A and B are shown apart, each in its own frame.
Chain A
Amino acid sequence: MSAEAVVEVRGLVKRFGDLEVLKGIDLKVREGETVVLLGVSGSGKSTLLRCINFMETPTEGRVFESGKLVGTEKNGRMVYRERELCALRTRIGMVFQHFNLFPHMTALQNVMEGQTTVLRESREAAEKNAIEQLRRVGLEDKAFEYPARLSGGQKQRVAIARALSMNPRVMLFDEVTSALDPELVGEVLKAIRQLADEGMTMIIVTHELGFAYHVADRVLFLDGGEIIEQGPPAEILVKPETRRAKEFLEGHSLFKLPD
């Protein structure tokens, strides 16, 4: 294999009580790869992302980050220590549908917070990096605004800058444009696309199929907690093999494939 797997998931099962949401997922994401996850509501996309950075603890299976197993195995069961998981999450950035900016901090402070509190960097270094990250998403002039005074698109870009400020090895995006007014979607997608061009490793859940087509190296189709189809976007999005994938794509009738 040419490039190392930044994230690898083996036999991932997640149950909430009796409900089995993920039924044994295997997934390998290579350095610099952009993977787009598609699937109907409730198919387990968010849960899969959240198991990768341990916002949720997997019920069964293993997660590897840069080739290293997360957690330790004891008597055939995985044991995870909070310290290890906190450190892991600094290397896996996540951006949420509803931004979740810290409302009592300015944009700049939001982006500095993880660096100073978690990574224990000096204020000067954190501030310098934070401004750099805000510039990356085109918001250096909003550094001293509080979230309440930012538009949805601007909030989401600050959230992206906040995740980037930790210098993560991989970024997870969970429907980051779903809560935005249509005219604000473009600016956020542009920022993500730019990251892809810079070679950032990313796993993206989105319903913007046109965007997926352009940005993805690989598209995964999730249904009922299983990956039922995967491959390059030109194949999966144009001539899907499974009936479920076809139905899903037909449901997004607004999606016009570029010729």
Chain B
Amino acid sequence: MHQWDFSPVFSNLDFLLLGLYHTFLVTALALSFGIPIGLALALCRLSRFRLVSGVATFIIEFFRTTPPLVQLFWFFFALPILIDVRMTPFVASVATFSIQSSAFFAEIFRGGINSIERGQWEAAKAIGMSYRQSLRRIILPQAVKRMIPAFLERSIELLKTTTLISTVSYADLMFQANELAQKTFRPLEVYTVVALMYFFLIFGFSYASIHVERFLAKSGESTMR
């Protein structure tokens, strides 16, 4: 029977917390790049110009359909050769997950924009608004509210997916766990604690997002996924 011993884990908690910080950092950066890129991709996909919408559609579908780990390897090992920049694990991670999540956000934006009735566009047009004005002042404010649940869900998925960056040796929580497990020869304790850390973190976010969703549903906003 295994003798449980958590003390090596807890005495190195700061080591793990540093990893957690890096996990959050990459998630936050990927979100802050991914959402605007996603909006741009969505608008391109909705564009009247066939070429623009075709290219946007391909980018979106490609990044939604291929495994994120393959994308990460491509950005980390391949891109530097092509454009001659030095890829650090950090840059590769942020770049991969910004673009990967932007493809998903694009579809959320598109769904949200499409869900607004035609009448809203026409009413905006009728008072002389341009396409941009209608989008900014009338359509997006309504659409964004409906998209919040899907946004939250996607962000949580992103947080889970960031564990992959440990494979290119970026010191996120997963990577720190691997290090600590090797250093302390206590893989069971380390991985159990880390699994629980991830669980409570993600469960907490999921739980909160369910409440946001309920609140939105109550305040009369139909939710979409």
Q: In the complex, A touching B, CB below 8 Å? A: no
A residues sitting closer than 8 Å to B (CB atoms) are: none
B residues sitting closer than 8 Å to A (CB atoms) are: none
